[in-house]
Amino acid sequence: MNNINRLHMKKYYIVVILVLPLLILVSISTFRTGRFRHDAARWASPSVDQTNLITLEQLNSFSPPLLVVRLDESPVDLNDAIDESIIPAERILEKQNQRRLRAFKGSIVLVAGDPALSARVWMLLKQMGYEDLYMLSDTVNNEELKYKFQPDTLTGLEL
C-alpha cells in the first residue's frame, strides 16, 4: 500500500513541477506594469495636435537625416536629394523592414496617396515606439471641414 501512495505522489510531483513554472511565468507577464512602451495619450498627442503632419514645402526644408517611406505607388513628386525607400504598407511589419526603420537615425516621413493609409501606418509605428515620425499631407490642418454642413431638406420629420 505504501508503494502505491508513493506512485500517486510521484505523479502529482511531476504535474506540479511542470505546471508551477508555467503558472509563475503567466502571472509575471500578467501583472507586469511596463508592458506597453507608451500610454495612449502620449503617443496619440501628435495626431491630435497635428504636429505629425508636414507639407511638401516643409519636407524640402527638413534637416537631414530624413527617410521618406512610400507606402504605395502614389504619384507624389519629391525632391531628388531626399533619401527614399519604398515599403508597401502591407509589408511594414516584416522583420527586414523593421530592422531598416529601426536602424535609421533621423526623421521618417510616410507618404501615401490615401491619407488614411499613412495615418494607419503612422499609428501602428507610433505604438511600436517610433518617435521622429511624420506624414506628408497636402495641408497642415487636414481636419478642417471643407464644405459647409447642410441638412437634408428633402425629408420631413416623422410624426
Q: DSSP characters for 45-91?
A: HHHHHTTTEE-HHHHHTPPSSEEEEE-S-------TTSEEEE--GGG
* 6-27 pLDDT tens trace: 666 777 777 778 888 888 888 8
Which tens digits make up the pLDDT trace of 81-113?
Answer: 566 778 888 999 999 999 999 999 888 989 888
In this prediction, residue 42 carries a pLDDT of 74
Quote the pLDDT of residue 96: 93
pLDDT of 38 higher than 70: no
141: left (phi over 0), alpha (psi -120 to 50) or beta: beta
Q: Taking all residues of the chain, what is their mean pLDDT, rounded to a whole number?
A: 77
Mean pLDDT of 127-144: 76
Looking at the chain, the whole-number percentage of residues with pLDDT higher than 90 is 14
pLDDT number for residue 94: 92
